[in-house]
Amino acid sequence: MVTELYAHVQAIRELMEKTNVISATDNLGYPNQIHKNMMDLKSNHASKIIMIVAESCLCDRFKQESFVDTRNYVIGFQLHQEVMEAAKKTKNSVDLNDLIELDDVLRGMCTMYTRNDGSDDEDMED
């Protein structure tokens, strides 16, 4: 799951960079349809991030009883919410700062789903 989330972020990064190049060199009348298709692809990747966080993380893995105190549970829940908000921001943006924000909050959230060695823990229950 963590690897899949990072793959979507990387795809968004590549599409943002290509979109910015197209926008910068648009003086040749580059077709708008290609630009639109790239934005749609980027939006789809952001939607998949939101779906994974909502369905796989919050519904299946993130359980309140796994936390010693309510404060840590709330912090964890906030991290998930920040990832979904940052992903939503990247849907219609080509600003790489929005992507950096997504990457930062995703790294914070994913620490909950990785082993101490940094590998993805697919078998983790929380």
For 70-79, the pLDDT digits (tens) are 998 999 999 9
Domain boundaries of the chain, sorted by first residue: 2-113
Q: pTM of the prediction?
A: 0.84
The third-level CATH classification (topology) of the domain covering 2-113 is Four Helix Bundle (Hemerythrin (Met), subunit A) (1.20.120)
23, 35 contact by CB (below 8 A): yes
The reported pLDDT for the residue numbered 114 is 83
What is the three-class DSSP state of 120? strand
Report the alpha-carbon distance of residue 16 to residue 52 in Å, rounded. 21
Residue type, 44: N
Report residue 33 as tokens: 């349809």
